[in-house]
Amino acid sequence: MQRRTFLQLGTLGLSAVGLSSFRGKKAVTKPIVISTWDAGLEANKAAWQVLRSGGRALDAVEQGVMVTEASQNCCVGLGANPDRDGFVTLDACIMDEAFNCGSVAFLERIKHPISVARRVMEKTPHVMLVGSGAQQFAVAEGFALEDGKLSKDAQKSYDNWLKKSEYKPIINIERTQLGHGPFAPEKLDTGEWNHDTIGMVAMDANGNLSGSCTTSGQGFKMRGRLGDSPIIGAGLFVDNEVGAATATGQGEDVIRICGAHSVVEFMRQGLHPEAACKKAVERIIKIKGTKAQAIQVGFIAINKKGEYGGYCIQKGFNYAVCYADDKNILVDGKYML
Ligand code: ASP
């Protein structure tokens, strides 16, 4: 397709037809959006609506993960796992193509932490707000203060957890993977799900990158515990000249290696997104030694060519990739152990 024709199609809001634009001879897959775990399929659909009509990647990654945050039937947001004291505390961050970034952590009773993170980015001179300060800012910005009650399923799971009150991260268990909702509700009784995150990175039709990451953190965590997800450079990093990456899994081990930033730096050195994710996973495994068998971490990334990839420690991680109206697919992450 001639570049001019593609641009015309783009102007008509038909950019989805032109999956690739051409820079010289090199095909660039754009727009494109990818996100962690199978909840990403629904989130990608919302992001794609923004991207296909020529919208900004930043809007796409915000609106995409808002779907997951709002779903009581999913793994992120106020419907998710509480901490060990019984309160849901949420962490989120967002980053655009110009190194603007915003983050909230330990935020309670607010439905869309990702949007509060965006307001932090756009309306304050800061990058991070936490706890009651973040909540105060959210309310001042017009976000509703929800009642803070646990969802029915989370209450059930918490009650079950309280029987032993044992904090033990369990690898690979996403609430959706256990068939939350209509699929296998009895599994919820086990209380065996504890990773509750969606990370999303996208490139828009203009070739700009952005990313978002939002979580309730690990289930039954210590009160006040933060993982990687709200930390720019750990749970999410975007460099518009190179690529974007996000992480999920055992947050402490992602923080240790500045995970998402490392993946982007590996792409800067010329590695394909999948190879870059793999190298970050290798780094964690090297540090953890045999203890790596007890944890899960997954990275996903895209580069400026619209190439994508993901890699994880253990079998069981997947991510959703969308680059056309009819191409929203779930990919099994390659794994090392
Ligand atoms: N990375 C998140 C955290 O450590 C958890 C997850 O991805 O499920 O808080």
For residue range 195-222, what is the model confidence (pLDDT) as tens digits? Answer: 579 999 999 999 999 999 999 998 899 9
- What's the pLDDT at 195? 54
Instruction: Please give the order of strands across the beta sheet that includes 236-239.
Output: 236-239, 243-249, 297-303, 308-312, 334-335
- Better-scored residue on pLDDT, 73 or 299: 299
**Complete domains list, the chain, with CATH:** 25-335 (3.60.20.30)
Ligand 1 probe mutation, 176, 248, 284, 314, most atoms within 8 A of CB:
248
Across the range 169-187, mean pLDDT stands at: 41
Does residue 138 have a pLDDT over 90?
Answer: yes
Confidence band, pLDDT 50/70/90 cuts, at residue 7 = very low
- What's the pLDDT at 54? 97
- What's the pLDDT at 207? 97
Identify the residues whose C-beta falls under 6 Å from ligand 1: 195-197, 215, 217-218, 227-229, 248-249, 251
Q: How far apart, in whole angstroms, are the C-alpha atoms of residue 96 and residue 218? A: 26
Does residue 242 have a pLDDT over 60?
Answer: yes
End-to-end CA distance of the chain: 43
C-alpha 53 – ligand 1 centre gap (Å): 32
Tokens of 96: 């655009």
Lowest-confidence segment of 57-71, 179-193, 212-226, 238-252 by average pLDDT? 179-193
Provide the annotated active-site residues: 197
* Residue where the block lists tokens 């803070």: 148
Q: How many CA atoms lie within 13 A of 170 on its CB side?
A: 15
Q: How far apart, in whole angstroms, are the C-alpha atoms of residue 108 and residue 179? A: 26
Does residue 309 have a pLDDT over 80?
Answer: yes
- Among the atoms of ligand 1, which is closest to the Cα of residue 249? 7
Across the range 175-188, mean pLDDT stands at: 35
Cβ partners under 8 Å of residue 66, min gap 6: 46, 112, 114, 115
C-alpha 122 – ligand 1 centre gap (Å): 25
- Better-scored residue on pLDDT, 172 or 292: 292
**Consecutive H or E run containing 119:** helix 113-123
Ligand 1 probe mutation, 215, 295, 318, most atoms within 8 A of CB:
215
Kindly give the interhelix angle for 259-268 and 273-288, rounded to the nearest 10 degrees.
Answer: 130
pTM of the prediction? 0.88
Does residue 6 have a pLDDT over 80?
Answer: no
- Among the atoms of ligand 1, which is closest to the Cα of residue 199? 7
DSSP readout, 255-307?
HHTTHHHHHHHHHHTT--HHHHHHHHHHHHHHHHGGGGGG--EEEEEEETTS-
- What's the pLDDT at 193? 43
- What's the pLDDT at 179? 35
> CA torsion 313→319→321→326, rounded to 10°?
140
Does residue 326 have a pLDDT over 70?
Answer: yes
Tokens of 115: 């949007």
C-alpha 294 – ligand 1 centre gap (Å): 15
- What's the pLDDT at 73? 64
pLDDT tens digits, 22-64: 444 567 889 999 999 999 999 999 999 999 999 999 999 999 9
- The per-residue pLDDT of the chain, averaged, comes to 87
C-alpha 90 – ligand 1 centre gap (Å): 11
Does residue 71 have a pLDDT over 90?
Answer: no
Q: How far apart, in whole angstroms, are the C-alpha atoms of residue 187 and residue 180? A: 8
- Among the atoms of ligand 1, which is closest to the Cα of residue 252? 4
C-alpha 215 – ligand 1 centre gap (Å): 7
- Among the atoms of ligand 1, which is closest to the Cα of residue 221? 9
Does residue 99 have a pLDDT over 90?
Answer: yes
Under 8 Å between Cβ of 32 and 303: no
pLDDT tens digits, 151-173: 998 999 899 989 988 776 655 54
Ligand 1 probe mutation, 167, 197, 226, 319, most atoms within 8 A of CB:
197
